[in-house]
Amino acid sequence: MDSQPDGRTVAIIGGGPAGLMAAEAISLAQGNGGLQIDLYDAMPSVGRKFLIAGKGGMNITHSEPAATFRARYAARQNRLTPLLDAFGPDAVCEWMRGLGIETFIGSSGRVFPADMKAAPLLRAWLHRLRAAGVRLHVRHRWCAIKRQENGNWSLGFATPDGEREVIADAVVLALGGGSWAKLGSDGRWVALLEQAGVAVAPLRPSNCGFDVGWSAHLRERFVGQPVKTITASFTDTNGIEHRQQGEFVITDYGVEGGLIYALSAPLRDAIENSGGATLSVDLLPAYDLSRVLEEVARPRGSRSLSTHLHSRLGIKGVKAALLHECLAREDFSDAVKVAAAIKTLPLRLVAPRPLDEAISSAGGIVFEALDARLMVKTMPGVFCAGEMLDWEAPTGGYLLTACLASGRAAGLGVLSRLQSSGHNS
């Protein structure tokens, strides 16, 4: 059994952005009372998903106006707003500068480190945490929690050297969601907390691809092809239209990519409610319907329709293949139907991809189970942060920012509790 004989201890479980930020908020706070902070992670090293997410360019936050930024969190906007007001995009950039990492704003408004890399940021961050006395323990998989009579918490970990028990005055849980299990976010914590009586909304895929059920022809010839310069729209069961410009990629199973991820939440919900969802794709958003119809209906002489569409509208390759995939053969003789399909191509989505393939997950510990400091109401001294909370957001820096903000809030919550008179109350 491990404890801190000459002071109080805080155990942080999970070495992703939320857990690391909780450790920072506690360790660097003035008057933390000499708390011993121990961070545990099941993987051989911390920050693995953080590093992978930054492999193609570390998009850490977004520069858009605060009201627009907060709205990205949809149904959980009100619960996250206080956390983001305390540590939002500007604070994230300032925090990075404090670690020696400059930022820049891309053309899309997304914010990146100057070198686009996650590794230097993580190295500088870990160096500062270790210098502040934070102890890191890897290959420690959390497997048990029990409150002691004195109000402290007994934590069980499975390690390569056998089971280990740790006693802590306060605990921060930051174990991630349920996507990318190989990097540590495997959702195993759900059963532990449900057994403890904590309400957890089911984990579901977010920022994910979707199954379509392509023909063999399209799969054989167009897998990996991007469908560019399009607009897609979808009306959910509440009659709200969701619209997104961008591109997506044809995959063996269906579609994925930035445009699809941005619409994934309402599409997933519609499929759960009705068994399917139809995405309306505008293949030529720069042209209105009348212009498209005019070009389709022009006399084409001996030219094939495919050649005609290529010549008059630039419809070729994967866009032409999608037309043939989604429009009945007999409808190609009707200029009105062809023009309508070009502007509102009905792409039927069958199912979201499995949770483990998703970029992130929805669901988690419901906010109603937590107080304003992110402490579990029924588990005094246990705080929660990051993607294991019940919120979701699109890609674009929103995920990381909310993880950092909630990690900081949980860390400050720990300090508030332990600094108050009688921390076991």
- Computed over every residue of the chain, the mean pLDDT equals 93
- Measuring CA to CA, which residue among 180, 49, 58 is closest to residue 111? 58
Question: What pLDDT digit, counting tens, does each position of 3-59 carry?
Answer: 444 579 999 999 999 999 999 999 988 667 789 999 999 999 999 989 987 777 889
pLDDT on residue 31 = 67
For residue 1, name the pLDDT band (cuts at 50, 70, 90): low
Average pLDDT over residues 223-245: 93
Dihedral sign, Cα of residue 117, residue 122, residue 123, residue 128? positive
Average pLDDT over residues 317-323: 96
Helices (H), 140-286: 189-195, 216-222, 258-262, 264-274
Average pLDDT over residues 73-100: 96
Dihedral sign, Cα of residue 86, residue 91, residue 96, residue 98? negative
Q: Token pair of 40, please? A: 């545990």
Strand runs (DSSP E) across 222-282, as ranges?
226-235, 241-250, 254-256, 277-282
Question: Does position 422 have pLDDT exceeding 70, yes or no?
Answer: no
Of 57-61, 96-100, 166-170, which gets the smallest average pLDDT? 57-61
pLDDT on residue 219 = 93
Q: Token pair of 14, please? A: 């999970």
Question: What pLDDT digit, counting tens, does each position of 197-223 carry?
Answer: 999 999 999 999 999 999 999 999 999
- Measuring CA to CA, which residue among 58, 153, 67 is closest to residue 115? 58
- Measuring CA to CA, which residue among 305, 303, 302, 304 is closest to residue 335? 305
pLDDT on residue 30 = 66
What Cα–Cα distance (Å) separates residue 74 from each residue in 79, 82, 277, 391?
A: 10, 15, 20, 9
Strand order, beta sheet including 110-113:
61-62, 110-113, 103-105
pLDDT on residue 425 = 41
Question: Does position 180 have pLDDT exceeding 70, yes or no?
Answer: yes
- Measuring CA to CA, which residue among 371, 369, 366, 400 is closest to residue 386? 400
Domains in the chain (CATH in brackets) are: 9-205+357-419 (3.50.50.60), 210-352 (no CATH)
Average pLDDT over residues 50-76: 90
Whole-angstrom Cα distance, residue 300 to residue 310?
12
Question: Does position 360 have pLDDT exceeding 60, yes or no?
Answer: yes
